Amino acid sequence: MNEPAVWDGRDDARLAELQQRLDTVRRRIDAATAGAGRQDAPPQLIVVTKFHPAGDVARLAALGVADVGENRDQEAADKAARLSDLRLRWHFIGQLQSNKAKSVVKYAHAVHSVDRPQLVAALAKAVVTEQERTGRQDLECFIQVSLDDDADGHRGGAVPAAVPELGGLLATAAGLRLAGVMAVAPLGADPEAAFEKLAGISARLRAEYPQATAISAGMSQDLEAAIRFGATHLRIGSDILGPRPAVG
Ligand SMILES: *Cc1c(COP(=O)(O)O)cnc(C)c1O
Strands (E), the chain: 44-48, 67-70, 89-92, 108-114, 139-144, 176-182, 214-216, 233-236
Q: 134 alpha carbon to ligand 1 midpoint, in Å? A: 30
Model pTM?
0.96
What is the fold, at CATH topology level, of the domain defined by 13-241? TIM Barrel (3.20.20)
* Residue among 29, 56, 71 whose CB has most ligand 1 atoms within 8 A, to mutate: 71
Q: Which atom of ligand 1 is nearest to the CA of 156?
A: 13
For 35-91, the pLDDT digits (tens) are: 999 999 999 999 999 999 999 999 999 999 999 999 999 999 999 999 999 999 999
Say how many Å lie between the CA of residue 132 and the centre of ligand 1.
Answer: 33
pLDDT of 112-138, one tens digit each? Answer: 999 999 999 999 999 999 999 999 999
Going by DSSP bridges, is the β-strand pair 89-92/44-48 parallel, antiparallel, or unpaired?
unpaired
- Express each pLDDT in 179-236 by its tens digit: 999 999 999 899 999 999 999 999 999 999 999 999 999 999 999 999 999 999 999 9
